[in-house]
Structure 1
Amino acid sequence: MYDFTACIVTYNTNREELAQIISCFQKTKLKFKLWISDNSEEDSLRNFINNLSNDRIEYIFNNSNNGFGSGHNVILEKLMDKNCKEKAEFHLILNADIIFEESTIEKIVDYMRKNSDIGQIGPKIYESNGEVNKSCRLLPTPLNLIFRRFCPIKSVVDKMDYDYEMRWCDYNTIMEVPILSGCFMFIRTDVLKTVGMFDTRYFMYMEDYDLCRRIGQKYKVIFYPEVEIIHEHGKASYKTRKMMMAHINSAIKYFNKWGWFFDNERKTRNKECIKRYKK
């Protein structure tokens, strides 16, 4: 049995990034299995990854791009199978552009083993410029995810982001939050068996919010700043029109599922979080 399993979904991913994240895993002393689930058009990474790795790392070519969540579900389906040989206490879903230190996962595993009510945990995230990523979120409203993109008044957008990104909280404090960044989702495997896999109606973006929200309905979702990672390419959806439209399309699907302006769960959980942490 492994201490944890992990999966990275790739799509025409930079080889240097893959080599870098694989080297991070190879430093851990825990017993793990890492899958590279490739949504690219061509099976061009197989030899590259096989030359970098060993039996703890497995490459899977999906031969199609059905989306980020679908790429991860290829692996999650294996883990959900009762006959699965790669059994593990925890599963890590992460992006390829992540850097973490040798003891990072050991510290997370230790903390989760001491706190069995935690379903998902997220570390403190630094951007490549050294700034702390405001990775904790309230459950979003349509104003947060769609309308602010088209608002020309910067002061209005900044005020919305101040509340939504919980900029008023102390990012050095362990907190139970409604939403965590999807770039590094460390989840108890049994929790995934309870709440299910990624919702594949989202091709790209919002699938992490949706899964995190479902976990938070039954378990604690914890921001754990005692460990730190670097996320090199955050906010990619702001950089191209194509990515922005993909994000908006997924946001529409999210609100169609959970509710646009009438969402009692959103109202209750956000109110509880603000009351607990906003000074």
Structure 2
Amino acid sequence: MAKISACIVAYCDYEEVCAAVRSILHYTQTADFVLYVVDNASPDGCGRQLAETDFGDERVKILCLPENLGFGKGHNFVLDKLHSDVHFILNPDILLTQDTLPAMADWLLATPGAAMATPQLRYPDGKLQHLPRRKPTPWLLLARQLAPRFGGVFRKADDHYTMQDEDLTRPHKIEFCTGSFMAVRTEVYKKIGGFDPAYFMYVEDADLTQKVLREGTVWLAPQFGAIHAWHRAPMRDAGKFKMQLVSMGRYFKKWGCGKGKV
């Protein structure tokens, strides 16, 4: 059985983080497992509460940062601590309903050339989330923002971007693996240096996927699943939306605006 590790980067919302941790521990019974919870200097005291919480499981390691490093650098904080075969990058709004981590790790290692994968995620009400995507282009990202309001050609482009014109009921190669739930070969993750620290938040998962694609293939593995609350803050918060635009600019400068291969 594969050695596995996982990391959640927390920022506020203690109860949500605890729910994620408890679901992961409940459905991941293997002893050769470490779960890192990195608190990004939560102003609501989440880190302090986590440090004082007894999860009754020595596999949990709580790490409290003195300042908010952002999503990617928060995950990179544990990079040098990893000695696993497969590492999971998880959002604090993830809930497991089955033994996804061990089974998915074994599948990833058994799939020739596979370096990263994501499961099929669903909303708490069971509705499917369309998170596997093609490589971003400026047009596809614009269409994604405009599709809910205007539909039409924007909706068609967004459906294409989120691969709704493909059969995703079976394992499928993808070009954009969501940072909500990533499984990556630890040796690959360490070789590429984890996330690009230039991103504070947003689009760093697309960037990481492109780096991983230089080392192997990236997959949607829909035979595995989890619940994802998916808090879409950029749609509601002007400051975070601006941050997202800055990250998009950095991504396209680095990787270009061309289409991918899927």
| 1:10 paired to 2:10 | yes
Which residue is equivalent to 2:186?
189
Which residue is equivalent to 1:54?
57
Which residue is equivalent to 2:220?
223
1:40, distance to aligned residue in structure 2 (A): 2.1
Aligned to 1:186, the other structure's residue is in SS state strand
Aligned to 2:9, the other structure's residue is in SS state strand
Q: Per-residue displacement from partner, 1:114-142 (whole Å, max 9, x unpaired)?
A: 22421001101112232211111111111
Distance 1:67 1:169 in 2: 33
Q: Per-residue displacement from partner, 1:157-196 (whole Å, max 9, x unpaired)?
A: 2022011111111221110111121100111101112222
Distance 1:118 1:186 in 2: 10
Contact persistence 1:46–1:59 (CA under 8 A): no
Contact persistence 1:125–1:231 (CA under 8 A): yes
Question: Closer, same or farther in 2 for the Cα pair 1:146/1:51, shift >3 Å?
Answer: same
| 1:250 paired to 2:253 | no
What is the 5 A alignment of 1:157-236? 157-236=154-233
Distance 2:24 2:132 in 1: 25
For residue 219 of structure 1, what is the amino acid of its counterpart? G
Distance 2:42 2:102 in 1: 35
Distance 1:248 1:17 in 2: 27
What is the 5 A alignment of 1:13-28? 14-27=13-26, 28=28
Unaligned runs of 5+ in 1: 80-86, 274-279
The number of residue pairs the alignment matches comes to 257
What is the 5 A alignment of 1:96-135? 96-135=92-131
1:45, distance to aligned residue in structure 2 (A): 2.8
Q: Per-residue displacement from partner, 1:94-126 (whole Å, max 9, x unpaired)?
A: 100001123211220221232242100110111
Aligned to 2:209, the other structure's residue is in SS state helix
Question: Closer, same or farther in 2 for the Cα pair 1:104/1:253, shift >3 Å?
Answer: same
Distance 2:194 2:78 in 1: 10
Aligned to 2:220, the other structure's residue is in SS state strand
Contact persistence 1:127–1:234 (CA under 8 A): no
Contact persistence 2:89–2:182 (CA under 8 A): yes
For residue 164 of structure 1, what is the amino acid of its counterpart? Y
Which residue is equivalent to 1:277?
none
Which residue is equivalent to 1:74?
77
Aligned to 2:77, the other structure's residue is in SS state helix
Out of 47, 56, 67, the position equivalent to 1:45 is 47
Q: Per-residue displacement from partner, 1:60-105 (whole Å, max 9, x unpaired)?
A: 11111121111111111333xxxxxxx1111110100001123211
Question: Closer, same or farther in 2 for the Cα pair 1:139/1:24, shift >3 Å?
Answer: same
1:146, distance to aligned residue in structure 2 (A): 4.1
Distance 2:197 2:143 in 1: 24
Which residue is equivalent to 2:89?
93
Q: TM-score, normalised by structure 2?
A: 0.90
Contact persistence 1:100–1:229 (CA under 8 A): yes
Distance 1:6 1:230 in 2: 16
Moved more, 208-217 or 237-246: 237-246
Which residue is equivalent to 1:29?
29
1:153, distance to aligned residue in structure 2 (A): 3.7
Out of 131, 138, 142, the position equivalent to 1:142 is 138
Q: TM-score, normalised by structure 1?
A: 0.85
1:47, distance to aligned residue in structure 2 (A): 4.5
